[in-house]
Chain A
Amino acid sequence: MILVVAEQRGGTLNRASWETIAAAQHIPGGVPIVVAVLGGSGGATTAAAQLAAAAVHEVVAVEHPSLEPYTADGFTAALQSLIGQLNPTSVLFPHTYQTRDFVPKLAARLDRALLTDVTGTKPSDDGALVFVRPMFQGKLTADVRPQGPAPHLVTFQIGSYRPDAAARGSSPAPVKTVAATLDGASVRQRPDQPYQEARQAVDLSQAERIVSVGRGIKGQEHLSVAQALADALKAELAASRPICDAGWLPMERQVGSSGQTVAPKLYVALGISGAIQHLVGMKGSNVIVAINKDPDAPIFEVADYGIVGDLFEVVPALVKALNE
């Protein structure tokens, strides 16, 4: 039996839980899968009801007041006893910040092997399960076979499986609610409110397409030229430092080492020479299109498509073509 530990907060499932279920379903041999989800009163049950849609053997909601909010001591104790009862061959987790926090402790407590950041599984000649994980920042991958007695603990890298790849069952899986075997007094951590990063008014890092303007735009009154292209492409408008310094666009639209770092699918650089401080903020873009009068501008070093020309001629022509 394979145990998948899903992750929820306040009844909302972490999407990576579905990815881990998909990972478990991909393990050859049709081993039955049990999904466990931990939490306080309500949260775990709500999440378990959603998880029941998956094609799995059973869903277990493990509840205890000391499991919400999350603590490393609480989760370790609850899972240690659950694993003892279910006796699975493997325990799979999504590789979230939460599992990074407590799974090493759990593995040490159980004295079992832990494999982290796994991206896939494959069978070996002798039928034992082999896990694939990246090494040296993804330059190599290693096939890893866990040593020692079962269960082996495995965390799956986020994005290795698609959440919609998790097969849904024809009928809901049975859901069982159990009380965790856990002494609340043994939990030493006293968590604060979860940290919420201050949201930028404009989050360029999430934009799919960006039209970015530099000094070649010459004046604030010409921004409409760039805005027209942005509208035609359904793109966000961004800028390099001098434009924001001059107050032509707000600071939160600045791209570069002194602004936001972006990685859109399409980045159109209008009249940006490409000082390195700008380049490092947008080099991760999928496709870079540069329009600049100066053929020696460094922006052409990183551009996939370059147009040497006056942006006031090129951009209106582009807008016209796009609108047709």
Chain B
Amino acid sequence: MIADAPNTFSTADLGARTYRFLADVLGQRQTLRERPLPGLAHALVFWGFVAFGLYTTVEYLKGLGIVDLTHTRWFAAYRILLTPFAIGVLVGIVGLALRRAVIRPVGLGQTVSIESLVIAGFIATLMITFLLAWRLDEASLAGQVNWWVHALVILAFLALIPASKHFHLVLSPVTVFLKSPELGNVPNLDFEKEQVGLEAVKDLGSKTVLDAFTCVECGRCQVNCPAWGAGKALNPKTLILQTQDALLARKPDTKLVDLYSDEVLWQCTTCGACENQCPVGIEHLPLIIGARRGLVSNGEAPDYLGGVYNHLERRGNIWGLGSDQRQKFVHASGLETFDPRVHDVLVWLGCAGAFEADFQRSLRALFDILRGRGVKFGVLAKERCTGDSAKRTGNEYLFQELAHQNIEDLRAAGPKTIVASCPHCVKTIGNDYRKFGYEVEIVHSAAFVEALTRGDQSVAGNPRERVTYHDPCYLGRYAGTFDEPRALLTRFGAEVTEPTRNRDNPYCCGAGGGLLFADKDEEPGSRISDVRFRQLQETGAGTIVTACPFCTIMLKGAQSSAAAVGGAGEIQFVDLMTFANGRLSKVG
């Protein structure tokens, strides 16, 4: 099946891949990080299996009468060394079986998998028989039975592997290695080759096929998915299992939209939680965005996106406002057109910066900070949307048009460093434009200002304001910028109360992937933004600090909806730059 699929395997950036392989496979990092206890249980089993590899080989060599190494001295020492591993595996597997059969976490599905319990029984039997062998005389009947039970269970286990999710024992090391080092890496389409995205099962790339068979059904993607968490139909795990079923059913012409349903495909905010939390290297975003591309190429995007695409085509921004509005802001803020001989950095305003009042306030705070520190900066004479909304919703053609025009303008301006306050712009210019050969250093203002003010005296000791900080997905998860905003906040007098789901695994505000425009279509009670607003409210902080224009729009929307029914409490929004700037002047 993999050989038949269009080849999407890549081994680019071997260093990052090797590091991930060592950390996630040998080190069990991903398995441990979200679920430390079950993760440790799994790690004990995994390390035990690795340790037992040679033992099993030696025993089979003896059993098959090829060569008997069991009486060598090193094997005796090896057996002794294996004993703690065996106990570890036994403890681990019993713990995992209890979790599955008794605790039954939601991510593992509604029913208890009998197959999983059988496998757990096999593994436990292997370990018990290994340990019993210490006590039994090998030549005795009991010893013989023990040896045979051990050997036969191994054979049964091996036979079960390819037909079950335990296939991941074989596949996941490969899948982890082949997973793109860049989160949410959805390669550009080549229109010269008439690529239009994924329409049917036969279009799925080889990595996606491998992914489908590697899935261990652990449900990390599911429980971390903000759409699923808000009660929507989308469940990333189901998506992968449906892919597996379709591939096994050998129905290459099944349309992906029939396989997954278009409702589900348009519920993804591209927050990246599923892909980022997956312990076996599955990439969900190329599948979801690929299928969206297939729909968009056939004119089957949801209605609300039609307006957005129209705005992007005609006005170069998602709002459909005239570029004179940006001009007004540029003029009123006293901004200069970027000139590399004069300016240190280029500030990328983004479409929210050019048109959205709250975000303009945030940018003015950034300008104040930069001016106060003597950073010389300029802006482009003209900007278009980076194309983020187009890219994430699968309108690749529109994205590439916008990208090429922006790259041309950026190349002509020639900045070495770009500062942007929109995490989506950072991702799109920093990662997606790079694939067109445009390399530039792009930094989110949180990181830039944090570095700029690092020498500032901390205002600790003053009464501290209790705030909570909402990590934008495209900043915390995609860019890994989660320490800097906190450092800034703490430096300038805030005491950060962490919400549930934070840092590199935040809960999405609901705006990404074009869903900023979709709330008309959302069922009441299933808005991601409402869920996130409540999580932030539960911190008890009086202030929510945000660092992305879209998060602010969504969460403020959730707040005003909650306020209309009296459920918003006294909580205010401050954007990170405004907060820092306000405190800076006080520090003075």
A298 contact set on B, CB distance < 8 A: 357-358
- B357 and A274 contact, CB distance less than 8 A: yes
- Report the minimal beta-carbon distance from A299 to chain B, rounded to whole angstroms: 9
Contact A245 B357 (CB under 8 A): no
B355 within 8 A of A: yes
Centre residue among B520, B560, B564 by max chain A CB count within 10 A: B564
Binary interface profile of A, 257-272, with partner B (CB < 8 Å = 1, else 0)?
1110100000000000
Which partner residue on chain A sits nearest B560 by CB separation? A242
Q: Which of B325-365 contact A (CB under 8 A)?
A: 352, 355-358
- Asked if B321 is at the interface (CB within 8 A of a chain A CB), the reply is yes
Given the complex, which residues of B lie within 8 Å of A245, measured CB to CB? 524, 561, 564-565
CB 8 Å contact bits of B408-428 with A (1 = contact, 0 = none): 000000000000000000000
A215 at the interface (CB under 8 A from B): yes
A283: B residues at CB distance < 8 A: 321
Q: Do residues A137 and B314 form an inter-chain contact, with CB atoms below 8 A? A: yes
Q: Which of A246, A248, A257, A279 has the most CB of B within 10 A?
A: A257
Per the bound structure, the CA–CA distance linking A181 and B304 in Å amounts to 45
Is B519 located at the chain interface by the 8 A CB criterion? yes
How near does chain A come to B566, taking the closest CB pair, in angstroms?
9
Asked if A89 lies at the interface with its beta carbon under 8 angstroms from chain B, I say no
Check B357–A246 contact: CB distance below 8 A.
no
Could you say which residues of chain A place their CB within 8 Å of the CB of B520? 254, 257-259
Question: Contact: A241 with B357, CB < 8 Å?
Answer: no
Decide: B319 and A276 in contact? CB cutoff 8 A.
Answer: yes
Q: Measured between alpha carbons, how far is A287 from B355 in the docked complex, in Å?
A: 20
Is A241's CB under 8 angstroms from B561's CB? yes
| Chain A positions 209 through 248: 1 when the CB is less than 8 Å from some CB of chain B, otherwise 0 | 0000001000000000000000000000000011101101
Inter-chain contact count A-B, CB under 8 Å? 55
- Please report the C-alpha to C-alpha distance between residue A93 and residue B450 in the assembled complex, in whole angstroms: 64
Contact residues in A for B517 (Cβ distance below 8 Å):
257-258
Encoded as 1 (CB less than 8 Å from any A CB) or 0, chain B from 542 to 585 comes to 00000000000100110011011100000000000000000000
| Residue contact A215 to B560, C-beta cutoff 8 Å | yes
Chain A residues with CB under 8 A of B518: 258
Interface residue from B320, B519, B560 paired with A280 (Cβ < 8 Å): B320
B553 and A280: CB pair below 8 A? Answer: no
Identify which of residues 514-539 in chain B touch chain A, using a CB-to-CB cut-off of 8 Å. Answer: 516-520, 524
- In the assembly, what is the distance between CA of A323 and CA of B146, in Å? 100
Instruction: Name the CB-closest residue of B to A256.
Output: B520
Taking CB atoms, residues of chain B closer than 8 Å to A258 are: 517-520
In the bound assembly, the distance between CA atoms of A21 and B557 in angstroms comes to 51
**Across the interface, do A246 and B320 meet the contact criterion of CB distance under 8 Å?**
no
In contact, B556 and A248 (Cβ under 8 angstroms)? no
Q: Are B557 and A277 in contact (CB under 8 A)?
A: yes
Q: Does A142 contact B (CB under 8 A)?
A: no
| A111 part of interface (Cβ distance < 8 Å) | no
**Does A243 lie within 8 Å of B557, measured CB to CB?**
no
Contact A242 B564 (CB under 8 A): yes
> Does A101 interact with chain B (Cβ within 8 Å)?
no
Instruction: Looking at the assembled complex, report how far the CB atom of A301 sits from the nearest CB atom of chain B, in whole angstroms.
Output: 6
CA distance A241 to B561 in the complex (A): 7
Q: Which residue of B lies closest to A278 (CB)?
A: B557
Which chain B residue lies CB-closest to A215?
A: B560
CB contacts (< 8 Å) of A241 on chain B: these are: 519, 557, 560-561
Which residues of A are found within 8 Å of B516, using beta-carbon distances?
277
Contacts of A275 in B (CB 8 A): 553, 556-557, 560
Q: State A277–B556 Cα separation when bound (angstroms).
A: 11
Chain A residues with CB under 8 Å of B557's CB are 241-242, 275, 277
Residues in chain B near residue A279, CB distance under 8 A: 319
Contacts of A248 on B, CB cut-off 8 Å?
Answer: 564
In the bound complex, what is the Cα–Cα distance between A301 and B556 (angstroms)? 19
Which chain B residues lie closer than 8 Å to A274 at the CB level? 357
A133 to B9 alpha-carbon distance, docked (Å):
51
Docked complex Cα distance between A248 and B517 (Å): 22
- B355 CB to nearest chain A CB (Å): 7
A248 shortest CB reach to chain B, Å: 7
Which residues of B have CB within 8 Å of A137? 314
CB of B300 to closest CB in A, whole Å:
16
CB distance from B425 to the nearest CB of A (A): 16
Complex contacts, A261 vs chain B, CB 8 Å: 307
Chain A contacts of B321 at CB under 8 A?
280, 283
Q: Is the CB of B355 within 8 A of A215?
A: no
**What residue of chain B has the Cβ atom nearest to residue A245's Cβ?**
B561
User: With A and B bound together, what is the CA distance between A261 and B303 in angstroms?
Assistant: 13
Known: A257-B517, A259-B520, A276-B356. A242 touches B563 (CB 8 A): yes
- The smallest beta-carbon distance between B213 and chain A, in angstroms, is 40
In chain A, what residue has the closest Cβ to B308? A257
In the bound complex, do residue B314 and residue A246 qualify as a contact, i.e. CB atoms below 8 Å apart?
no
A298 to B359, CA, bound (A): 11
Q: Flag A90-132 by CB within 8 Å of B: 1 or 0 each.
A: 0000000000000000000000000000000000000000000
Q: Which residues of A contact B320 (CB under 8 A)?
A: 280
Alpha-carbon distance between A35 and B564 when the two chains are bound, in angstroms: 59
With both beta carbons as reference points, the residue of chain B lying nearest to A217 in the complex is identified as: B564
Q: Is the CB of A276 within 8 A of B355?
A: yes
Contact in complex: B553, A246 (CB < 8 Å):
no
Given A259-B520, A275-B553, verify A301-B314 contact (CB < 8 Å). no
From B304, B352, B356, B564, give the contact of A215 (CB < 8 A): B564
Q: How far is the CB of B553 from chain A (nearest CB, A)?
A: 7
Q: Can you list 18 A-B contacts (CB < 8 A)?
A: A137-B314, A215-B563, A241-B557, A241-B561, A242-B561, A246-B564, A257-B304, A257-B520, A258-B517, A258-B518, A274-B357, A275-B553, A275-B556, A276-B352, A276-B356, A277-B553, A279-B319, A280-B321
Known: A242-B564, A245-B565, A276-B355. 15 other contacts (CB 8 A): A215-B564, A241-B560, A245-B561, A245-B564, A246-B565, A254-B520, A258-B519, A261-B307, A276-B357, A276-B553, A277-B516, A277-B553, A280-B321, A298-B358, A301-B357
Cβ-closest 5 pairs across A and B? A298-B357, A246-B564, A245-B561, A242-B564, A242-B560
